[in-house]
A and B are shown apart, each in its own frame.
Chain A
Amino acid sequence: MALDAGSEQEKLDYTLNNKRRVIRLVTQWAAVHGYQLQEEDASVAFLQEFFMAASDDAKAIPAIRDQLTELGRIVKHNTEGARVSQKKHKVLLRQFSMGNEKLHKRQPIKGNDEILFKVYCCDHTYTTIRVPVATSVTEVTGAVADKLGSAEDLLLVNLSSAGEKLIFKPNDVSVFSTLSPNGRLFACRRDQLDSLTPLPEQEGPSTGSLASFELISSKDVAYHMTAYDWELFHCVHELELLYHTFGRQNVKKTTVNLDLFLRRFNEIQFWVISEVCLCSQLSKRVQLLKKFIKIAAHCKEYRNLNAFFAVIMGLSNPAVSRLSQTWEKLPSKFKKFYSEFENLMDPSRNHRAYRLTVAKLEPPIIPFMPLLIKDMTFTHEGNRTFIDSLVNFEKMRMIANTVKTMRHCRSQPFSPDSPLASKTHPEVRTYVRQLNVIDNQRTLTQLSHELEPRRS
């Protein structure tokens, strides 16, 4: 008798534990997905159904009631969120600005937010379309054709400042955020492809902007760059990293926040190259090199390794590194710093130098994103998802590890003592957020050769 009762109790405990674990799993799952859950009706419906079932269970097993409160809160939040987000969305301007960033903290961009975007034609006229961010290419070309009153099949093209054309596939989604810094979207018929030419504005600036940041301390510039990078980084959802790796067109999801953050790397890099190549006076150019090396050093101190790499890679771009007259005049102290920094960038032995350095840092950290993306790519491509029709958990664990790296980096808020306690320098803040760059490598190389012609 006593034995039977014991096993009855054991059975109950076993059931209870299992139920608690399932509820905990669902709670965690909902927490990881966050607002992304609300974009899928099926997920919200599942949560509601699950909550009902758990509530029924709680009548018989009071011990799970404590977990129900939390679950109920999550369900309510997501159900309401889903309802609201159908109606309430943001309208973004072309450069993904919300127009009121001075007032509000940057919010993640969602797939159903709408964006106003210019799509150009061969003759450089444009139509402005307003579509959800997660729109597919077919829908974009449809919207353009509507506006033009045309019934022809149109291609959507990313035209770079160098005139390179990338034709988007019809099922690509959310292509707005994948353009290069000065890239523009063009729509045209297939037979018009050859006649596409970049807009004059795509060339970028013809004079440098040294005057705008010459008098501002390098530390202030680095601080504002880092503050902006943190806003962009914070908006990236962990799942975007997965969508980016597994192909977002396969999951019909946008990776817009990640795209914008990744694009920032290119922007900073081209900014450095452009400024140096647009500076015709040798002594000023030496000042610029010093300034950028100092900015890089401060970014590194702020543990903003992404911007640090972008600046140093800008300086090591052939268009800049070949300017031997300029580098010769750089004080040896700076040369030493630069070569130390360059060593950190050395990709050999799988970026050994960088990996060792970053492993020693405490969060908050902004990691060197291109490498994180590469690790994800190779983990995905180098390992099968299924082996003998079973999920390859080794692969999933490795993917999770890279996602966790990102989580670790963001586990502490970025809140250094602002170097500008007394003054906020709104002009620096604005400046670093609106960098004007030349993103055509050929133009940059040409400018570089004009500054310091090749020695024979």
Chain B
Amino acid sequence: MSAEEERFKLVVVGGGGVGKSALTIQFIQSYFVSDYDPTIEDSYTKICTVDGKETRLDILDTAGQEEFGAMREQYMRSGEGFLLVFALNDRGSYHEVQKFHTQVLRVKDRDDFPIVLVGNKADLEQQRVISREDAQAFASDNGIHYMESSAKNRYNVDESFLELVKIIRRFQEMESTPPAAHHTGKQKSGGCPCVLL
């Protein structure tokens, strides 16, 4: 393990039943196994290469812990980037994820932070109640990136995580540049105006 190794802590948040865990598991496991054991040390770790650079991702997914609301703040503190997940067929989860967005910014005490908004369950197109335009508008207004995914069909799963890695890198680079280049959140995320679909 080199001292230079890049490591990021990603936090996956979203309401119950939006398919968070499926998204995380799909990403961690490149192929299907019959015995995924979530109690061992590296069951939430993945090493991947983004833009030619290797990075180790430690993913904190709060699935199953939705009822421990106050713990969420604690977990958010450790995150360097967030995937905010809602289900495209569940309006409640969409409203909830907007609250989580506010919560992340409050916990981080910042106006912007590396976040990707993910509309999951894109495979259930007929049951969709949140339009792409609405979600995209919310994302643009808040200077965050929006993607639609399907954990079930393995669509845009890796892409969502890897996009977040790119955003974190850009963000941390901006942070380390002198304050002369001080920007507001909107401008920072202006670097990624298009949706990868």
Contacts and interface: CB of A to CB of B under 8 A. Distances in A.
Interface in B64-90: 64-65, 67-71, 73-75, 77-78
B159 interface: no
Contacts of B22: 381
Contacts of A313: 70-71, 74
Interface in A350-405: 350, 352, 355, 370, 373-379, 381-384, 387, 392, 394-395, 398, 401-402
29 contacts: A262-B67, A266-B68, A269-B70, A313-B74, A318-B77, A347-B75, A348-B58, A348-B60, A348-B78, A350-B38, A350-B39, A355-B39, A370-B71, A373-B65, A374-B64, A374-B65, A377-B64, A377-B65, A379-B38, A379-B39, A381-B22, A382-B25, A382-B38, A383-B34, A383-B35, A395-B35, A398-B37, A402-B39, A441-B69
A178 B67 contact: yes
Interface stretch (B41-49, B162-170, B185-193): B41-49
Contact of A441 (B25, B58, B60, B70): B70
B64 A376 contact: yes
A384 B34 contact: yes
Contacts of B25: 378, 381-382
Contacts of A233: none
A245 B69 CA distance: 18
A263 B43 CA distance: 27
Contact of A349 (B29, B58, B71, B92): B58
A375 B37 CA distance: 8
B38, B44, B58: which has the most chain A beta carbons within 10 Å? B38
Interface in A210-264: 245, 262-263
Interface residues of B, number: 37
A313 B74 CA distance: 7
Nearest to B36: A382
Contacts of A245: 64
B139 interface: no
Given A377-B63, A401-B39, 18 more contacts: A263-B67, A265-B68, A346-B78, A347-B75, A347-B78, A348-B60, A349-B41, A349-B58, A350-B39, A350-B40, A370-B71, A378-B63, A381-B21, A383-B35, A384-B34, A394-B34, A439-B70, A445-B106
Interface residues of A, number: 46
Nearest to B99: A164
B128 interface: no
Contacts of A378: 21, 25, 36, 38, 43, 61, 63-64
**Majority secondary structure of chain A interface residues (helix, strand, loop or mixed):** helix
A180 B34 contact: no
A167, A355, A381, A402: which has the most chain B beta carbons within 10 Å? A381
B107 interface: yes
B60 A373 contact: no
Contacts of B73: 317-318, 441
Chain A to chain B: the 3 pairs with minimum beta-carbon distance, closest first: A377-B64, A378-B38, A382-B36
A346 B9 CA distance: 12
B21 A382 contact: yes
A245 B64 CA distance: 8
Nearest to A165: B92
Contact of B38 (A178, A345, A375): A375
A270 interface: yes
Nearest to B37: A398
A115 to B, nearest CB: 20
Nearest to A374: B64
Nearest to A247: B17
Contacts of B35: 383, 394-395, 398
